[in-house]
Amino acid sequence: MQEFRFDIILYYLPMLLRGTLLTIGISILSIILGSLLGLIVGFGRMSARAYFRLPAACYINFFRGTPLLVQILIVHFGVVPALVGHTDVMIAAVLSMTLNSAAYTAEIFRAGIQSVEKGQTEASLSLGMTHRQTMRYIILPQAIKRMVPAFGNEFIVLIKDSSLLTVIAAKELMYYANVMRGQYMRIWEPYLTAAIIYLILTYSLSKLLNWWERRISQFEQS
């Protein structure tokens, strides 16, 4: 390994940080939209009616069972041109990450809700609560607390997986690392720098989530 060139890292740092901002932006947007879509799919998956349940199950199976890289390419070169008439990197980036994360969050919702014992539903129904009230006041408050760690995980996975968007030239962190490699034909500087930035992102996020989890459990005890 030749000497490590900090000067080119410094030179590219503004670009890498700009890419990092986009990585964060795409990840946040996708986790929010993905959760909303995931909520719908998750409830569909738990529905007693087959015409809700089956499409939801197919959706989850497809997006969890195919590589994200393939999904990104299909969305960018297939779905987005079909929808808006031409390729659009930003739409494709957010759409592919959203569709993918919705499949995982749907399962998180389902697992969270089904983890609350049946006896509680039966008890609240026998107390005269409606299904909706049971969900709102009994099940969801407990379920959401159990979902938080899984959600945090999904968010972290999303940040890391957004690096795949570089194949469609979305100008996120990995894109600029690749551009840097292309200019200097050096491997260590761009990729180690990118790795460290990703590490900082995911590590501080997991710290934040730990803190939030602790807060929630304190809140419950009081």
Applying CB under 8 A, the residues found at the interface with another protein are: 1, 15, 18, 77, 81, 85-89, 166-169, 171, 175, 178-179, 181-185, 187, 192, 196
102 near 37, Cβ under 8 Å? yes
* CB 177 to another protein: min, Å: 11
CB of 13 to another protein, least distance (A): 13
SS3 label, residue 46 = helix
CB of 96 to another protein, least distance (A): 15
Beta carbon nearer to another protein, 102 or 179: 179
d(CA 38, CA 100): 10
Helix (H, G, I), strand (E, B) or coil at 149: helix
CB count in 10 Å sphere of residue 122: 11
- Pull the structure tokens for residue 79: 């779905």
Q: Which residue number, 77 or 137, has a Cβ lying nearer to another protein? A: 77
Nearer to another protein among residue 113 and residue 179 (C-beta):
179
Nearer to another protein (CB atom), residue 57 or residue 167: 167
Smallest distance, another protein to C-beta of residue 54, A: 32
Alpha-carbon gap, residue 128 to 88, rounded angstroms: 52
